[in-house]
Structure 1
Amino acid sequence: MATMTELSPTAGKTKHSQDTRVDESLVPKKVLSFRSTRYGIAFIAHFCNFILMAQYAAINISMVAMVNGTNHQSQFNGSTESLPLDALGGSNDAPNSLPAEGSIFGGQHALWERWGPPRERSRLCTLALSGMMLGTFAIILLGGIISQTLGWPFVFYIFGGIGCVYCLLWFVLVYDDPVSHPWISVTEKEYIVSSLAQQVSPCKQPLPFKAMLGSLPLYAICLCSFSHQWLVTILIVYMPTYISSVFNVNIRDNGFLSAFPFIISWVTGILGGQLADFLLTKNFRLVTVRKIATFLGNFPSSVLLVALSYLTPDYITTMTLLIVSCGFTPFCQSGIYINALDIAPRHSSFLMGASREFGYTAAILAPTVSGFLLSQDPEFGWRNVFLLLFAINLSGLIFYLVFGDAVVQDWAKDRKLTRL
């Protein structure tokens, strides 16, 4: 009788040790650099998310010109006042791209399974994900101008063409892991491989679907992703409309006004990852860091939007609250959006894709529900939209704060294999 046993990499360790640190002595100082290969891959992923979000948001931005073009209007009207609320949300067309987006995010997290040292995952992942906010900024700023000067199809031609060229860059420069990368330094390769030795196993194992269905930390990620995506969707889709409806501002001529909050979000997203990794160096538990980041990305933003609906419209106050609200949302990038790497590093690509797809259902429902509320109650419609957003956001956040975790789950550990 021959027995082959594959031990769990976390066997014999306490729960506390699983969700904390990497030995500082294992981190060569000269590989902690933005010139390293792993940071290069993060920048490439950053540009990928820039293109992804620009292409998605282009549908909402170009919807005005599409409707006007269908009505045979010769001039592009940048104001959203002439656009039906249900069309503004893109509820019939925009969601078609969401399944592809979920698969892209799952694929990116598969990279960080092999490329992201535990101590640097927050900054690497948020550096990549923050490209979404930069893409939103670019399309809001430039979408109306392109539609007016060249025609709305050129919004898709330009950003679609950039995406095609970018694919070539991805195919040439991105590799599955450090071992297969031809240009990575030996020092960096050894550092990444050694830091991931306890988390990444070469042994392929099937997804434990039954155990996953009973995992509260996994449900916490999915539900909080849904509630946060509801918040982000309202900000992206309806913030230009809110500014236009309250102050009668022509969004075409004031594109920077609507785009500016997202450049702030881009900055805070990158800084949020740095902050999360900094807290880990100060002996904060990983689960505490994830929950702090998730709280900051949800609660302040939704509270500020509710407060906005009760204030007397004032240009400076309104823009300040919108900018601050939008600026807080990217903190979730170093919270729920990379939490799957903590609880199930071997299955994180699947889990992140699945949680993103679950969250993106909010991108389908939020514009439809919000458009209905605005059309039914012109006087208090915005207040109802923001109160509903707050209720959904708070529910998902509380569930995550109670049941969220950052310890590798039992169903995600290596299993003992026995051959008789």
Structure 2
Amino acid sequence: MTTLASSPGLQAQCRVQNVGEAAFGIRHLQTVMMFFALVIGYAMRVNMSMAIVAMTDSAADDTFDWSMQTQSVILSSFFWGYVMLQIPGSLLADKIGGSILITISIGCNSIITLILPTAATYGGWQAVCACRVLQGLTQGFLFPCTHNLIGKWVPLEDKGRFMAFIYSGSQFGTAAQLMLAGYLTEYWGWPSIFYASGICGVIWTIVYILIGSASPQGSKMISEEERMYIQSSLGHVGGHKTYPVPWKSVFSSLPFISLIVVNCCQNWGFWTLMTEIPSYMSQVLGVNIKANGVLSALPYITMYLLSFPFGLASDLILAKGWLRATTTRKLSNSIAYLVPAVTLIGFAYVPAGNIAVAVGLLCVVVGLNAGYYTGFMLAFLDMAPNFAGFMLSITNCAANFISFIAPLVAGVLIQDETDVSHWRNVFYLSSLLYVLGNTFYIVFGTSELQSWNEPKLDKQVENGSGTTTEKTEIFI
């Protein structure tokens, strides 16, 4: 009779199973590092939204006389560089690994953030724009690298909760930066906003160089049991298979086009609020800089917290079979778009001085927008899991063109930043695009698996004994 003690195979299997049940492993450490990469990346991305309020405060020292139009150009300049490397970043991460590129992304952003106050002092708004373009350029690697690393490090059993944790870092970083910016400005001046996030980025880069890895295979810290557990779960023991991109099928797919449209509308609304709300709070609602940071952060804290129940509810609905995947995604997306669209109109009519109501409505607008995580964002994986990363890079590229256009349009619409009627036009436009984008997705979107996700097997060849069918990867 074979016992566990006399069977090395059973012992190894038992050890691998124990690794899967362990509370903490190297895969968890890599997950935490990815979370903080997004926290710091987004902190450096949004710090200008609060800093520019202090940098243009005529009542303070060491400030700049920049018009609303100039401020809009500065706020949009990050995205000029950001859109350029979305697609190349996705392809490059597959070739050289995500760890190298994510280190370059955060490291370069940190250095640029640290020199930005000096650039502003001696080079004016043009130098600030140049710094922001370079930051956007290097952050173009951030999301493709994160997707790549998740695909290598996170077992299938943990994918849902690990992904929710990692990507919530973007909202956490946004909220933390907005909240701390007011206090930093109050006590140490506006340059400290950039120094704080830049120093955090340098620390992260040093730590990640020491402990980060592109995959379990390349990690020197991981145990053999944990490496085998991850590879077995992902089917990477013999190497994972990749397919050539079916370009024609992707770009002729109306459901995929609907993802581009809905993502563009999402970015318009999200980044309009992100870049303009601190100025609105200051100029229209009369909130001082310290309170401005805290109040501007609350909606993003709400979004961070609501992302978890949205994820749990979506999984529960599908597990119970209450709704199909397509219906579940569209329901979640409709909550994320339609309720904020209506609420944003109400927010535009809140009278000056009624801060509590304004912030409460803004928490509804931004907080419920978390539903898009379990809305169209999951449709990429539903439709074509083999090409989800590539598809996301395409839609992200298009959507981030919108990200730098939106602040410019706001600058054109807001001729007098103290006139609430000018601001209402900005909010009307965002509401309209939320409704139109969601409608297009409702009509044309799907979560059905697409035929071009898998290769077709239809090539016949002849051999000496007759005709046989050869398995060949053919994409339409």
Work out whether the TM-score is over 0.5: yes
Q: Which residue of 2 aligns with 1:41?
A: 30
Residue 358 of structure 2 corresponds to residue 318 of structure 1: yes
Which of 263, 272, 276 is the equivalent residue of 1:225?
263
- Counterparts of 1:137-176 in structure 2, within 5 Å, are 137-176=175-214
Deviation at 1:305, TM superposition (A): 0.6
Q: Which residue of 2 aligns with 1:387?
A: 428
Q: Percent identity between the aligned chains? A: 26
Deviation at 1:293, TM superposition (A): 2.8
Residue 338 of structure 2 corresponds to residue 355 of structure 1: no
Q: Which residue of 1 aligns with 2:47?
A: 58
Aligned counterparts of 2:205 and 2:62: Cα–Cα separation in 1: 35
* Matched AA of 1:252: K
Aligned counterparts of 1:394 and 1:99: Cα–Cα separation in 2: 31
Which of 336, 354, 374 is the equivalent residue of 2:376?
336
Deviation at 1:83, TM superposition (A): 5.8
Taking structure 2 as the reference length, the TM-score comes to: 0.70
* Matched AA of 1:342: D
Aligned counterparts of 2:51 and 2:351: Cα–Cα separation in 1: 31
Q: Which residue of 1 aligns with 2:142?
A: 104
Question: C-alpha offsets along residues 5-57 of structure 1, whole Å, 9 cap, x if unaligned?
Answer: xxxxxxxxxxxxxxxxxxxxxxx898477635555433322211111111011
Gaps of 5+ in 1: 1-27
Aligned counterparts of 2:168 and 2:334: Cα–Cα separation in 1: 18
Gaps of 5+ in 2: 1-16, 80-132, 458-470
Q: Which residue of 2 aligns with 1:113?
A: 151
Deviation at 1:319, TM superposition (A): 1.8
Moved more, 400-409 or 173-182: 173-182
| 4+ runs deviating over 6 angstroms | 185-188
Deviation at 1:74, TM superposition (A): 2.1
- Residue 86 and residue 345 in structure 1: after superposition, are their counterparts in 2 closer, same or farther (change >3 A)? same
* Matched AA of 2:208: W
Q: Which residue of 1 aligns with 2:411?
A: 371
Residue 227 of structure 2 corresponds to residue 243 of structure 1: no
Larger radius of gyration: 2
Q: Any conservation in 1 of the 2:345–2:428 contact (CA below 8 Å)?
A: yes
Q: Which residue of 1 aligns with 2:78?
A: 94
Choose between structure 1 and 2 for higher RCO, CA contacts under 8 A separated by at least 6 residues.
1
Question: C-alpha offsets along residues 326-360 of structure 1, whole Å, 9 cap, x if unaligned?
Answer: 21122222333343233232333332223222211
Deviation at 1:115, TM superposition (A): 4.2
Aligned counterparts of 1:351 and 1:211: Cα–Cα separation in 2: 12
Moved more, 149-158 or 383-392: 149-158
Q: Any conservation in 1 of the 2:46–2:177 contact (CA below 8 Å)?
A: yes
Residue 367 of structure 2 corresponds to residue 327 of structure 1: yes
Q: Which residue of 2 aligns with 1:6?
A: none
- Counterparts of 1:262-341 in structure 2, within 5 Å, are 262-283=300-321, 284-312=323-351, 314-341=354-381
Q: Which residue of 2 aligns with 1:5?
A: none
Number of equivalences:
386
Taking structure 1 as the reference length, the TM-score comes to: 0.79
Q: Any conservation in 2 of the 1:59–1:94 contact (CA below 8 Å)?
A: no
* Matched AA of 2:367: G
SS in 2 for 1:258: helix
SS in 1 for 2:240: coil
Q: Any conservation in 2 of the 1:104–1:353 contact (CA below 8 Å)?
A: no
**What's the RMSD between the two structures over aligned residues?**
3.4
Q: Which residue of 2 aligns with 1:17?
A: none
